[in-house]
């Protein structure tokens, strides 16, 4: 895990199985920290073709509209490229934010990494 320039957001990535890139996010996702996530996600999108991303939000402490926009833009990019994106480990606070803003209609949310990987490897997400 490497902290962002502000030192508050930590982002890590790894490949699990043959095809899925897991990006781990810990800390606040906001105007100051979302550029670091954008860079990490852009890098993760180049690892496999088509991109299959599982984003671990179990360490997310808060998210504002800038951070949420990064997640939605990444999901749109992945879908356009023929890949899939699943978020997992979403705690009660982020889950409420996602639900209140209607993001749970656009993001595939799974409880665990195993379920996220299974969802991604089973085929296209609709």
Question: What tens digit of pLDDT does each residue of 5-15 get?
Answer: 444 899 998 98
- Categorize the per-residue pLDDT at 40 as very low, low, confident or very high, splitting at 50, 70 and 90: very high
CATH topology of domain 2-120: Transcription Regulator spoIIAA (3.30.750)
Residues with Cβ within 8 Å of 27's Cβ and at least 6 positions away in sequence, in order, are 4, 8, 9, 10, 33, 59, 60, 61
Question: Model-level pTM?
Answer: 0.88
At residue 78's C-alpha, the angle toward residues 20 and 56, to 5°, is 50
The percent of residues in the chain predicted with pLDDT above 70, rounded, is 91
């Amino acid at each position: 895990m490497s902290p962002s320039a502000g030192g508050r957001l930590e982002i890590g990535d790894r490949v699990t199985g043959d095809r899925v890139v897991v990006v781990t996010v810990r800390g606040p996702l906001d105007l100051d920290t979302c550029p670091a996530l954008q860079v990490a996600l852009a890098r993760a999108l180049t690892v496999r073709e088509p991109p299959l991303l599982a984003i671990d939000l179990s360490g997310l402490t808060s998210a504002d509209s800038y951070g949420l926009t990064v997640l939605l833009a990444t999901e749109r990019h992945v879908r356009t490229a023929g890949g899939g994106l699943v978020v997992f480990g979403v705690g009660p606070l982020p889950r409420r934010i996602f639900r209140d803003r209607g993001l749970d209609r656009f993001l595939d949310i799974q409880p665990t990494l195993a379920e996220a990987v299974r969802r991604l490897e089973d085929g296209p997400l609709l």
